[in-house]
């Protein structure tokens, strides 16, 4: 993240009230350190978890600057999950949400990431946190049908499905539909962050959404098609305030992902009765 983008982000971030100068200091120190250090660097994160960073990982480094880069989405995951739950990280990227779910909370995670280099980084996150027993890794994309698709390899965190004639670097990756994966049925929460491929993920999840849907879904795509599918499956869009633990129904979340829940009362009870988590010295 450039300085012009980072400073407004840090200034507006709710978790940094009274701590903005410390956050800017972390940003500046990282800009120097990331140019001197080679490879991965581990930093302490939420509740004793660790986060592996390197230069160029804007989302992951945002967690170091601000505590939780995607607020309130990440806080929602911390407060919703319990150690006996299962979480699906669909489009896991380098694993920030997987670390929150399985290292900070202790839940089981099914993590899906198709890009080989990113998958290796995800696996390293799991190893440094000692949570291999809690995480099942799939080097695959989730989509409409079983098979293969072309995936870009040269867009960093923004790698996505591309056409076969894509001019940049790409590779074929395995694709699995949700309905072929029984372990995704009836679990607590899915996170869908697949760079515009969300409609294809949901098209491959028709049976699961009808018969054994998750209680909550975080979805980056806010298109009318995605919203129509989720509403027809019984979900409502919500806003979450991690400080008060209040869930507001029929209100789109301002975060990076839209929060969708089925049983509003059950989810609200989960959120309000979750233990506190320490982030940047604050309890949420």
- Which residue did the predictor score with more confidence, 53 or 151? 53
Q: What would the pLDDT profile of 23-66 be if each residue is shown by its tens digit?
A: 999 998 888 888 887 677 889 999 999 999 988 777 788 999 99
Which domains are assigned to the chain?
Answer: 3-283 (3.40.50.150)
Q: What would the pLDDT profile of 97-141 be if each residue is shown by its tens digit?
A: 999 999 999 999 999 999 888 999 999 999 999 999 999 999 999
Whole-angstrom Cα distance, residue 96 to residue 52?
A: 9
Q: Could you tell me how many residues make up the chain?
A: 284
What pLDDT is recorded for position 34?
83
Mean pLDDT value across residues 134-159? 87
What pLDDT is recorded for position 3?
67
Please report, to the nearest 10 degrees, the dihedral formed by the alpha carbons of residues 125, 126, 131, 132 taken in order: -160
What pLDDT is recorded for position 143?
93
What pLDDT is recorded for position 255?
67
Q: Structure pTM? A: 0.93
What pLDDT is recorded for position 215?
98
What pLDDT is recorded for position 231?
97
Whole-angstrom Cα distance, residue 258 to residue 23?
A: 26
What pLDDT is recorded for position 59?
78
Mean pLDDT lowest for which of 71-85, 97-111, 145-159, 202-216? 145-159
Q: What would the pLDDT profile of 170-207 be if each residue is shown by its tens digit?
A: 888 889 999 999 999 999 999 999 887 899 999 999 99
Q: What would the pLDDT profile of 243-279 be if each residue is shown by its tens digit?
A: 999 999 877 667 689 999 999 999 999 999 999 999 9
What pLDDT is recorded for position 168?
83
Mean pLDDT value across residues 143-148? 91
């Amino acid at each position: 993240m450039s300085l012009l983008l980072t400073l407004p982000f840090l200034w507006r971030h709710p978790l940094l009230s009274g701590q903005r100068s410390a956050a800017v200091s972390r940003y500046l120190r990282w800009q120097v350190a990331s140019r001197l250090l080679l490879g991965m660097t581990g930093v302490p994160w939420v509740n004793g978890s660790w986060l592996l960073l390197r230069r160029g990982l804007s989302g992951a480094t945002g967690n170091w600057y601000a505590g939780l880069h995607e607020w309130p989405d990440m806080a929602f995951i911390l407060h919703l999950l319990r150690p006996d739950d299962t979480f699906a990280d669909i489009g896991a990227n380098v694993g920030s949400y997987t670390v929150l779910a399985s290292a900070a909370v202790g839940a089981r995670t099914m993590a899906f990431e198709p890009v080989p280099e990113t998958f290796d980084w995800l696996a390293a996150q799991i190893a440094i946190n000692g949570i291999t027993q809690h995480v099942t890794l799939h080097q695959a994309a989730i989509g409409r049908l079983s098979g293969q698709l072309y995936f870009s390899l040269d867009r960093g965190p923004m790698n996505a499905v591309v056409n076969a004639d894509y001019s940049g670097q790409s590779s074929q990756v395995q694709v699995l539909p949700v309905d072929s994966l029984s372990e995704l049925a009836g679990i607590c929460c899915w996170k869908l962050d697949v760079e515009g491929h969300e409609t294809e993920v949901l098209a491959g999840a028709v049976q699961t959404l009808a018969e054994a849907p998750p209680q909550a879904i975080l979805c980056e795509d806010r298109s009318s098609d995605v919203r129509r599918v989720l509403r027809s499956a019984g979900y409502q869009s919500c806003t979450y305030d991690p400080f008060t633990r209040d869930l507001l129904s029929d209100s789109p979340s301002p975060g990076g992902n839209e929060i969708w829940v089925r049983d509003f009362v059950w989810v609200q009870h989960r959120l309000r009765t979750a233990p506190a988590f320490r982030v940047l010295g604050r309890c949420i």
